[in-house]
Chains A and B, each alone.
Chain A
Amino acid sequence: MRKASPGSVRRAFQPWNDPAAQPLVEFRAVTKRFGGVTAVADVSLSLYPREFFALLGPSGCGKTTLMRMLAGFETPDAGAILLDGVDITAVPPHLRPVNMMFQSYALFPHLSVADNIGYGLKREGLPRTEIDRRVGEMLALVKLDGLGKRRPDQLSGGQRQRVALARALAKRPKLLLLDEPMAALDRKLREATQFELMDIQSELGTTFMVVTHDQDEAMTMADRMAVMDHGRLVQIAPPDVIYEAPVSRHVAEFVGDINILEGRVEAVDGDLVSVATPLAGIVELDEEAPALSSGEPVLVGLRPEKIALSHDEPAQGVNKVRGEIWDIGYLGDMTMVQVMVGGDDGQLLKVSLTNRSRRIERPFAWEDSVWLSWDVEAGLVLKP
């Protein structure tokens, strides 16, 4: 039986699993070098119409270069970029039906909000009345009605971001590129804006590609995301798959927090894998069609929220380990506990506890001796 991850329930939209679906954008073995540095290495990627795609990676991983090649500001050294089946590799930026929202917003400081939004329409040579109408529509879309006459420096950060979005959407591009769209917003505003952006995207049906280093942002908004590292796409999948089934230790550690235990495969019985770990004894995991053989060295990944913490020894026979609390970080909604396992020179494991009630009967304290335990469904196997 195929088990679904928690996030996949809301997604019926999966054109990437449909062999008949026509991609909107195709990167074909694209490589870009700057001097001796390879910024993008042999990247192949397809984006589908109406998709909300996120490109996630640390700064300097090449994600911005990949986006700039799509906008036309950089030319690939090798490979081709196709839009709607047409090779646009050599098309200059002003002739591409692709628009971009810049990280700095790049609002023209000498033009009013309305003139900023209408800039692209004016270049298309639309009549004044048509431009005014479309600008009005856009202002309504981003809820800035009545602010058309203002200058960018008379707006708040959040308003400026909306103007940038409206300006990029005004030409009704097939593809909208968003470069770190939330980077300049504070946390509260960022959350609200993320959902608004998703609403606008589903309303317009435009394909969005957002570049970000913020995993929460990528996971909240994207239908599918790609994790990029050193110019390569390491994994392309929906956010829940990336989180629950990362392909490598690097992805697992980059997206979210994870504890890694070293070990060796003890036995494989159908979907049930037993791993012998020096630290926590036998760990049993439920893996779909594991391609593992006995004696093979593996890593066991355990997300902090999937570990339970108790004062008393749990009843279950496996997937438990004793430890001592070294550190407690109270975060309000949850508490992050660091537990030393395997003696003073052992390994610190992170456990997160959801604070479900305001008072706890037996609170955990520093230097408490505690038990960690987890389900067979909790751990995941990674190749070292």
Chain B
Amino acid sequence: MTRLGPGLILALVAGFAFLYLPILALIAYSFNASRLVTVWGGFSTQWYGTLLANEPLLSAAWLSLRLAFVSATLATALGTLAALALARQGRFRGRLLFTGMALAPLVMPEVITGLSLLLLFVAADVERGFWTVTIAHATFGLGFACIVVQARLVGFDRSLEEAARDLGATPLVTFWTVTFPLIAPAVAAAWLLAFTLSLDDLVIASFTTGPGATTLPMRLYSAVRLGVSPEINAACTILIGFVAIVVIAASLLLKRRQALGA
């Protein structure tokens, strides 16, 4: 069925309008010269200027980026291992518990994840800050990374690995020369997912952070609670732009790799 009736076209237009109009409106008003959101005072980039002078917001953004980078890398490494264990180890002792633990963060409310990790950090008497949030985000991102990589491993032709073994490769060499290059797109996608999840998270970070480590979503959240301001619109626009560029660049890169036959 490749014919779109008027009803289906309406469904498409309405659906995408619902998804995109709010974001487009937000972006548009970041270029409003007037501070009053209800009045269009002409085009201006002044709010981007004030944003660049907003020292706390900029340092929060830098912290969030570093945090997302480290936690996504940890989450992807651990999630890939977990995916390999689930897809390749067959039945091992405690598999059910393992599966539950790896995938629970997918359905676990963030308030619970955040609260439980904070209680652990308090009990262990760890100073809270960058590293506690990083650990929390890595744990949270692990399940997502695991799902993404596992999906790729499920469709993986096992005879490729057998062929490598048959040609004299040890299990470890087989992994690095055959398995990893072939699941690399999924690993990259997993990293990207873990990265944006970390960059986006407010709840878990609020629980597990300490003084001096305020993330960008936490800053935005406290600003948003005070009401709408064009400066926040500008900050959001930059964030949207950043994520859009990363995602589009990544998908283009993956597409090129696929075109090359990987």
Contacts and interface: CB of A to CB of B under 8 A. Distances in A.
Interface string B162-177: 1111111110010001
The interface size bin for chain A is 20 to 34
B2 interface: no
B182 A110 contact: yes
Interface stretch (A96-104, A272-280, A333-341, A370-378): A96-104
Given A106-B157, A110-B261, A119 B167 contact: yes
Interface in B181-197: 181-182
Contact of A108 (B163, B168, B173): B163
Given A71-B166, A104-B157, A154-B261, 13 more contacts: A71-B162, A92-B165, A94-B166, A103-B159, A106-B162, A109-B262, A110-B181, A110-B262, A119-B169, A120-B167, A120-B168, A123-B169, A171-B168
A322 interface: no
A109 B162 CA distance: 14
Contacts, number: 69
B26 interface: no
Considering residues A110, A120, A171, which has the most beta carbons from chain B within 10 angstroms of its beta carbon? A110
B70 interface: no
B4 interface: no
Interface residues of B, number: 20
Interface string B225-259: 00000000000000000000000000000000000
A100 B163 contact: yes
B260 interface: yes
A94 B261 contact: no
B182 A123 contact: no
B90 to A, nearest CB: 13
B170 to A, nearest CB: 6
14 contacts: A94-B166, A94-B170, A99-B167, A102-B162, A104-B159, A106-B163, A108-B160, A109-B261, A109-B262, A110-B261, A119-B164, A123-B168, A151-B260, A167-B163
Nearest to A117: B167
A93 interface: yes
A153 B157 CA distance: 15
Nearest to A152: B261
Contact of A73 (B162, B167, B181): B162
Contacts of A99: 166-167
A73 B167 CA distance: 12
A171 B261 CA distance: 25
Nearest to A177: B166
B178 interface: yes
A102 B169 contact: no
A152 B163 CA distance: 15
Contacts of A154: 261
Interface string A71-95: 1110000000000000000001111
Interface string A103-124: 1101111100000000110011
A108 B178 contact: yes
